[in-house]
Structure 1
Amino acid sequence: MKENRFKRAIVQGRQQIGIWSMMREPMVTEMLGQLGYDWILLDCEHTPNDEPGVMAMLQALSACETEPMVRPSCLNVAEIKRLLDVGARNILIPYVQTVEEAELAAAAVAYPPAGIRGVSNVSRAAGFGAAPDYFVTARDEICLIVQIETGAALDRLEDIAAVPGIDGLFIGPADLAASLGHPGNPKHPEVHAAILDGIRRIRAAGKPAGFLSPDQGLLEDVVSAGCVFTAIDMDLSVLRRGAMARLEACRTIRE
């Protein structure tokens, strides 16, 4: 198996800059992969993405240095199994709130006897049967990240971080803001303080911390607090801002 550069980097505390992808288009994925980002998140939670679509995007990234990460729609063992089989190896599980959920996530990405991942000899991940040692070595190159997105999850952060098999934790600002009573306002002082405190606590627990925001000031704050895998924008947002800016620059053509 290829070494998981992303996993090695965040364990070593080396900053990894990422971009969030909401667009279901392998050509866009390939273009983003050629830009020099360390990682790209392929989202299935808030998009119509599914396993065949994810596989096409993973194939589009196969010649790139950018490491793909995939977020399933939820903590669904069957969906996680299919995503792993098509080649995902950096997995971000949304909305993990308890130790029991973290334990289930860890079990879902490991083969028995350590976990409950189903075995397929001819999956894309196993080289279609050409990598007989895959089942022994796979977990070493899989990186499991869980999202901390609620006040309840923050209360249990250290316990979740201590679950064997959890490779990193990611603070989700939008859902956290809503959970704390400030929906749509991750810049609220209470939310801002909770985000930074969460990042520091993750690092104090000995795990890598991740975050997403297009807000440059907030990004600088979380990196200062210890965030080591940082998504700096979303492809749809970049497209919208660029298209709007270009339209504004050319409105005089109508006159």
Structure 2
Amino acid sequence: MRDALREGEPVVGTWASLADPAVPELLAPDADFVVLDTEHTPNSLETVADCARAVDAAPGEALPLARVAWNDPVRIKRLLDTGVAGVMVPMVEGAAEAEAAVEACRYPPDGVRGIATARASDYGRNFESYVESANGDVLTVLQVETAAGVENAADIAAVDGVDALFVGPADLSANLGVFGQWSHPDLVDAIATVLEAGEAADTPVGTLGSRPEEVRALGSLGFDFLIAGVDTAMLLDGVAEAVGAARETLSAG
């Protein structure tokens, strides 16, 4: 995935917030990666591990990523030990925070990630080879979703070990006082600043659209990768459409 992003290939992921592993299993075959969210969900480490297994077992080559609840080395190392391919770290606002996130994802001497056998190393069967390769393999994606993050986007993107930036559209629009207004000039200008920072540092930048119209609106601004759809939004839309069709049919009869 890192190579695909750097080479400018179209990389598309999707988002899983529900706890049942069947959800990411359903999402994975059509995506390049599935983000397993722990920031705004009650999902536990056990849930993430089961969902990562589901993504790995699904047809295709989708990678499981996990969004950590906060830029905290303990939370990050525990998620990585479940065997996810990388983490997304929210609310990064400066180079120091970016460096801390990178260090949390890396084993010494390059970082502070604690070393132990876990699912990531096949419970120790591939222990030495995993430790040797993990620093280069684990993806580190940092979220820019505040005005401060936008202001420091160039410094964040330039930190060695940052594989990609991710614009959190809901938080950023809210922080700028234009919540949900995807075409508002303030949001568009902020996104342009992050995109320019990413281009200057050769760091890919992505974002999320929970529904197709949001994917098209935000994706047209020049992002390098996109997360298309959130499981709960897709479920809500599908239920509303099906139930609405049923009510219309019954009323017509």
Q: Give CA-to-partner distance per residue, 1:165-219, whole Å, 9 cap, x none.
A: 1111011111111111123434423212322332233123210111101455654
Counterparts of residues 122-141 of structure 1 (less than 5 Å): 122-131=117-126, 132-141=128-137
Report SS of the residue matched to 1:48: coil
Contact 1:200 1:225 in 2 (8 A): no
Counterparts of residues 70-149 of structure 1 (less than 5 Å): 70-120=66-116, 122-131=117-126, 132-149=128-145
Q: Give CA-to-partner distance per residue, 1:130-156, whole Å, 9 cap, x none.
A: 112211111111110100001111111
| Whole-angstrom CA distance in 1 between matches of 2:214 and 2:188 | 8
| Whole-angstrom CA distance in 2 between matches of 1:146 and 1:252 | 45
Unpaired segments ≥5 residues, structure 1: 1-5
| Whole-angstrom CA distance in 2 between matches of 1:93 and 1:49 | 16
Match of 2:233 in 1: 237
Match of 2:52 in 1: 58
Match of 1:152 in 2: 148
Among 15, 29, 33, the residue aligned to 2:28: 33
Unpaired segments ≥5 residues, structure 2: none
* Aligned length, in residue pairs: 248
CA distance 1:142–1:27, shift in 2 (3 Å): same
What is the TM-score of this pair, normalised by structure 1?
A: 0.91
Match of 1:9 in 2: 4
Report SS of the residue matched to 1:96: coil
Q: Does 1:246 align with 2:238?
A: no
Q: Give CA-to-partner distance per residue, 1:75-108, whole Å, 9 cap, x none.
A: 1211111111110122100000111111110100
Report SS of the residue matched to 1:110: coil
| Whole-angstrom CA distance in 2 between matches of 1:195 and 1:233 | 19
| Whole-angstrom CA distance in 1 between matches of 2:129 and 2:103 | 20
| Whole-angstrom CA distance in 1 between matches of 2:145 and 2:27 | 27
Alpha-carbon shift at residue 13 of structure 1 (Å): 1.4
Structure 1 vs Structure 2 CA RMSD: 1.7
| Whole-angstrom CA distance in 2 between matches of 1:197 and 1:80 | 28
Match of 2:42 in 1: 48
| Whole-angstrom CA distance in 2 between matches of 1:69 and 1:203 | 23
Match of 2:16 in 1: 21
Contact 1:86 1:125 in 2 (8 A): yes
CA distance 1:135–1:31, shift in 2 (3 Å): same
Higher helix fraction: Structure 1 or Structure 2? 2
Q: Give CA-to-partner distance per residue, 1:31-59, whole Å, 9 cap, x none.
A: 1113x211111111111112110000001
Which protein has greater RCO, CA pairs closer than 8 Å, 6+ apart? 1
Stretch moving more, 220-229 or 138-147? 220-229
CA distance 1:191–1:97, shift in 2 (3 Å): same
| Whole-angstrom CA distance in 1 between matches of 2:216 and 2:20 | 30
Opposite residue 126 of structure 1, the aligned amino acid is: S
